[in-house]
Every structure is written in structure tokens, then in C-alpha cells.
A and B are shown apart, each in its own frame.
Chain A
Amino acid sequence: MTQVRTPNRLLPIEVEKGRVDLAVYAGEDRKDLRSDLVQINLGPHHPSTHGVLHFFVTLDGETVVDLRLIFGYLHRSMEKLFEGRTYVGNVAITDRMDYTAAMLNNWGWCLCCEKLASLEVNERSQCLRTIAGELSRLSSHLIGTGVFGQDVGVLVTSVMWGFNWREEVLTVLDDLTGARMMYNFMRPGTVNQDSPPGWTDKVRKVMDGLPRHIEDFHNLMTTNEIFQVRTKGIGILSKEDALAFSVTGPTLRGSGVKYDIRRAHPYGIYPELDFDIPVGELGDCTDRYLVRIAEMEQSRKIILQCLDRLDATEPGNLGKAPKVFKPPAGDAYAEVEGAKGAIGFYLKSDGGLEPYRGKIRSASFINLQALPMMVRGWKLADLIAIFGSIDINMGEVDR
């Protein structure tokens, strides 16, 4: 197993230090113990709920006794919207799910469509998809780690750094697709357009700068003692719990489970690519954070391989895609490894131009369900840190 690299482990891990045993709340003697519990509505406009999530928290002083998640503020009924649009038209809707990594949503949708109609994708399109998808993952992880820093309290320094570097990634994606976030790039069986001339060199240049940026993150956060006492041994999600909650993505891998759709259920050209799956040991906030950073390095590795393969293919040859995409009646389910976890699409076709029914398995939504269990007994500040370490996106939770 590839363990995540931990730069300068300065402090020993003290597991569960600071967690309050909530068994006291079960007994009757609790009444004469002390004060009342306080209930606070964190969100939906709280600065660190990453969008419009609403925590209904029961607190005893600073200790989180209970947490209820309330969401749906960003619900756009995407699954219903699928039914009124063509398969190609729906690609634009999937952009709006996890808007920090829209390419991967596109990919999930297109993979499902291809499964439905048994389409093949040619080499150049596959390379473009892989590069674009990994760039998207990179940009999502840059936000994820940066915002996690803010949740732990690095003011906005880590966010600004993350966003600045993400800007470089977005620039090359902009060159490829013409959009910075809502790419609408992939099509069933192909991609929307070919890369502009000289694009691969531009991407290589961005990739050259990445290791330095990651080192900066390590210097700012990972090696900082306060960061370590705030994240190490905190918010542990055990292997068993993670699997029981069907958590996926970096959150699952942080708990030490080596499960990545790209290897477990390969798609695209991933089986031919050389990359590792970083996993954590303990499943605490540090591990989840470090897994994300390690994945950025792996994404870079994948992109560099794909760039070479892309240069070897003939420009302009994006493969044959049907002019009118009309799959035969039937159903299909396909999953891709998104930035937050497994993004799955289930589609049922009645042979028409539009899907008969669509269903999304969104990673953020399912990962979020483990949060109430993880935060009980921790302090209010830990709630924010643990939530940040799961790295969800409300666009994907509410869909």
C-alpha cells in the first residue's frame, strides 16, 4: 500500500484527545450536573458551511452533543430536469453538480450514455478527457485543501493560495473549452472540441509549477504545530464506519481503504496509466487532508503521461459520434471517480431522444451522512475542521 507522505511529523498523534465521552448525557444524574444545552443553527449562511448547508447543533458549552444536517437549499431537481432534455443537452446540467470539478460530472454522464448505447471512444478523446478530468480534480483539491486551512483558522491565506494556483489550472481549461467552470465539454462517444495548438506545452508548464505549490502548502499548514494539534487524531472515521456509511473518495482513502473507481472498476484509459492510490492510516483530519495533497501529485503524474500520449495522436481526430444520440431501450449504471468520491449515474432509456429516468449517486451527499457520527463529543471548532476535511460541495449534495 502506498502510504501518504507525511512531511516532518513533529508532534506525536494523540488519538481522540479532547473528545468528551457523551455517555454522561444518557444518565439521569445529568440534570444536577450543570447547565442547559444550547441549540444553535449554524448556517445556511454561516461562513464555513461551504455553501448553503444548515447544521442544527446541540451544544453543551463548547461540546457538540448532537448534530442534525438540514439541506436542500440548493435543490434544482436535476434528476427531473434530465427527463426533459436530450442526452447531449443534459451534459450542461451535470456541470452544475460539483461545480468545482465539473469535468468529472460530465465524464460520469457520458460514460453512462456510452454504456447505454455501447459506444467506443477513440484515443485522442480519451486522452483529452483524462487530462481535463484530472485538471478538474486538481482544481477541486486545491480548493478543498485551501478551504480546509481556513476552517482550521489560517484566515484566508490558504484559500487565496489555493485559488491562485487553481487559477492557473482554470486558465488551461479555459483554453481547451472556452469556459472556466461550466465546461460542457464531453459528449457521448467524444468530446466537444479539440485542444488548441500549443495547448499541451501550456499544461506542462502549469504542471511544472505544481510541486512548488504543494511544498508551499506543506510549509504553511502541514508542518505547523497548531495545524497539527487541530487536525491530528481528530474526527476519526474508522475503516468499518467508512464502509458502513458507503463513504467514497479521499475521505474513504483517508481511513485506509484502498478503493478508487479508477482502479477498482476501470474506465477510459486508466488501466494503461501508471499512478498510485494514496491512502491514510488513521482516518483523522490530517490523513484526509494529506490524501488530497498526495492525489494532486498523482493527478500531475497522470496528466503528464496523457500529454505525451495526446501528442502522439493525430490532431482533429476525435472519433465518430452519432449525430443524433438515441440509445436503444434499456438501462445502465456507470461510476467515475470524482473529486469528492464516486459519482454514479443511472439512466433508463425508452429508445427516445431523452432519458426516461435519471438517478444520481452523488459522493458529497453520501460522505456528508457520516458527519454527525464523527463530530459527537468534539468541540465546536472541531466540527468545522472535521466538516472541512470531508470536503463536500453543496451543489452536489442538493443537486
Chain B
Amino acid sequence: MIGSIDIVESAGHWLRQTLYGFGVRGVLLDGILAFVAVFVVANFALANGGLMSFVWRREMALIQDRWGPNRVGPQGLFQFLADGIKMITKQAMIPRHADRLVFIIAPAVAAFPFVMAYLVIPFSHGSSLADVNVGVLYLFAITSLAFPAVFMAGWSSNNKYAMMGGMRAIAQLLAFEVPLTMSALGVVMLAGTLSTQGVVVAQHHLWFIIPQVLGAGIFFIAGMAENAAHPFDLPEAESELVAGYYTEYSGIMFGLFFLAELGTTWTLGAVFTTFFLGGWQPPVLGLFDIPLFWFLAKSYLMFGVFTLARFSMPRFRIDQFLGFGWKILTPLAFLNLLVAAVEVLWFGNVFKA
């Protein structure tokens, strides 16, 4: 990794030097740096989620033989800003018989896990916000918090469609959390660490998608199910439940759900990149050695792949879908663990960077 340019780290270094030059020292210096870092990453997460809504819509339009948003800004790039302004200025209706408190906090609960997940996502070798030694565990703990939000929204709306959506969400969470975590466990076994940065470093010689192809497949499907994205969007199922759990939401409260869904899809792409596609490492050693570039390129690519499935697949029925999770994906995930164990036994050395 010598000679690679870490833009994020350099920027941090520059800021530290500058502040030091102004005479800022000690805890204050660390505090300011931490604040700036969190501010930048959290805003990147939200803005990126918004931007993804534009990408998503244009991609959908491409597949459906139509234009999509192409009026605001170059090629409609600023459409998400216009949408955001519209949603913020719009009245957010609260139904009379709704559970007001839960109804109001549900969108916020939905939108915060994917921002929090950025804490441990390794953007490049020196720069994840926190290189926690249980990063993988943290990631799964924090992202699964999105489902209670869905249930809160569904339950508090006092609407039968919303309630059914919330119920479906919980059933889905239970069925797919197990294979999702199990498939990532194979990666953890190969890497020998729970740190996300450690997982990336362990892929120095070989990306985990090759030894863990089964795991990657399970992670891909279960991740989409966790994201509740089409074709697994049973909680919102627009042809059956109108809009599912957010039927009663409007204005920015709806906007937050929407943002959370697309933001989570991008985060999912980033996590997939981290676990299986070598994170910030270039595909060929030394090729265009800017870690941040490779990380973002792979993540956006994965976002594209994840969303591609959304426009071209019909939706499962709830019992078929849960059956698929429990009867097919979960046993396969356990099988994958066995595969990982054998691989660790035979070629464990490859992954010791």
C-alpha cells in the first residue's frame, strides 16, 4: 500500500496541520477534527441517498423506455433537491387516530441506521470514521434497526394496509436476518477479524467473492430482503397494500422513508464491496492507486446491480418468500459456513495480509 494516495487521510492531515498552525491544541483539536469528520460523512450519507434517488429513477426510466427526470439541472441531476424542497414545504399529515408520538419518530428511526452504518464503512485504508474491532457485528446490529421503524410506522398509522405491511416487515426481518448474518460470518472466518478494515486488508491477494461465491449470493439476496427493496418489498407491496407501512405518511416524513430505503441500498452496496469485492483495493495491484476512487466505484456499481433487480422481477407472495428464507437460504448459509471452515483449514494463509 505504499505509494497509494489516500485523499481522505491527506485532507484530514491538512486540516490538522492548519488548525495546529492557528494554535488549536489538545482535546479541542481532536474534537474539531472528529466533528468535521462526522459532519462530512453524515452529510455525504444523506446527500448520497438523495442523489441515489435520481440515479434510481433514471435507471428505472432507462429500462422502461422512457425519459425519467431530466429537467432540473443537467440531465435532471438536481431533481432530488427539488423533491426535497417540495417534501419539506409540504404539510406532513398525521391521521386523527394515529399514535402521534410513534408516528412522528418512526421516519427518523428509519433514516438513522443507514447513516450510522457509515461509521464503520472503510472508505480507504486510513479512513473509516471508527475502526471498531467488532465492526461487522456493529454493522448488522445497527442496520437491522430499520425494521422496528417500519413496524412502528405500520402500527401507529392505525390503518389496516399499514399494519399488514408492518407485520410483513417483522416476519421478513426474522426470516432473512439469519442467512444475512450467517453469510457474512464466512467472510469473518476467512479474515479472522470482526473489524471491517481488517476484512478489507485480508482480501489483499484474493477477493472474498471467489472463495465465498455462495456466501456472496446469499448476502446479495438476503441483503435485498433486509433492504425491503423490490422484488422483496412485501412491506410496501404497492399492488396489494397501496403503499404498505407508509400509506399514511406524507411530506418529509414520507421523504425520510424514501431516503432511508435508497440510502440503505447504497450502504448495502458498500458493505457488499467491503465484504466480497476487496473494499478500497484496486482490482489489479497498483492500478490507479486511489483507494477512495475504487471504493466508490465499486459501491456505485453494486448500487446499480441491486437496483437493476428491482425493475425486472415480479414480487413474491409472503408465504413463498418466508419459505424461501427459512427453507432454502438459511440451510445454504449454514452450508456456506462449512465451506468457509474448510477453506480456512486448507488455504487460510492466503488471507493473512
Q: Hey, which bits of chain A sit against chain B, CB under 8 A?
A: 18, 38, 40, 46-48, 62, 149-157, 160-161, 164, 220-221, 224, 226-227, 229-230, 379-384
Contacts and interface: CB of A to CB of B under 8 A. Distances in A.
Contacts of B314: 149, 152-154, 221, 224, 226-227, 230
A230 B242 contact: no
B319 A18 contact: yes
A154 B312 contact: yes
Contacts of B64: 156-157, 160-161
Contact of B239 (A151, A161, A224, A229): A151
A257 to B, nearest CB: 28
Contacts of B65: 160-161, 164
B245 to A, nearest CB: 15
Interface stretch (B100-108, B112-120, B130-138, B230-238): B230-238
Given A155-B230, A157-B64, A384-B240, A379 B316 contact: no
Nearest to B168: A62
Contacts of A381: 237, 240, 315, 317-318
A157 B315 contact: no
Contact of A62 (B164, B231, B313, B316): B164
Which 3 pairs show the lowest CB-CB distances between chains A and B?
A153-B315, A160-B64, A153-B314
B315 A226 contact: yes
B211 to A, nearest CB: 27
Contacts of B174: none
B310 interface: yes
B317 A230 contact: yes
Given A40-B160, A381-B318, A226 B313 contact: yes
Given A48-B239, A157-B63, A227-B314, 9 more contacts: A47-B239, A62-B164, A152-B314, A153-B231, A153-B315, A160-B64, A160-B66, A224-B313, A379-B319
B63 to A, nearest CB: 6
B320 interface: yes
B310 A229 contact: no
B241 to A, nearest CB: 8
Given A221-B314, A227-B314, A46 B242 contact: yes
28 contacts: A18-B320, A47-B238, A47-B242, A48-B239, A62-B318, A149-B314, A153-B231, A153-B237, A153-B316, A154-B314, A157-B63, A157-B312, A164-B65, A220-B312, A221-B314, A224-B313, A224-B314, A226-B314, A229-B316, A230-B316, A230-B317, A230-B320, A379-B317, A379-B318, A380-B240, A381-B237, A381-B317, A383-B240
B311 interface: yes
Given A38-B160, A155-B310, A160-B66, A48 B315 contact: no
Interface in B201-259: 230-231, 237-240, 242
Interface in B118-132: none
Nearest to A39: B160
A382 B237 CA distance: 12
Contacts of B318: 62, 379, 381
A141 B320 CA distance: 29
A41 to B, nearest CB: 9
A62 B161 CA distance: 11
B135 to A, nearest CB: 34
Interface in B59-73: 60, 63-66
Contacts of B310: 155
A144 to B, nearest CB: 15
Contacts of A384: 239-240
A62 B239 contact: no
B177 to A, nearest CB: 21
A225 B221 CA distance: 15
A157 B311 contact: yes
Contacts of A149: 314
Contacts of B311: 155, 157
A382 B240 CA distance: 9
Contacts of A150: 239
A154 B316 contact: no
Nearest to B233: A153
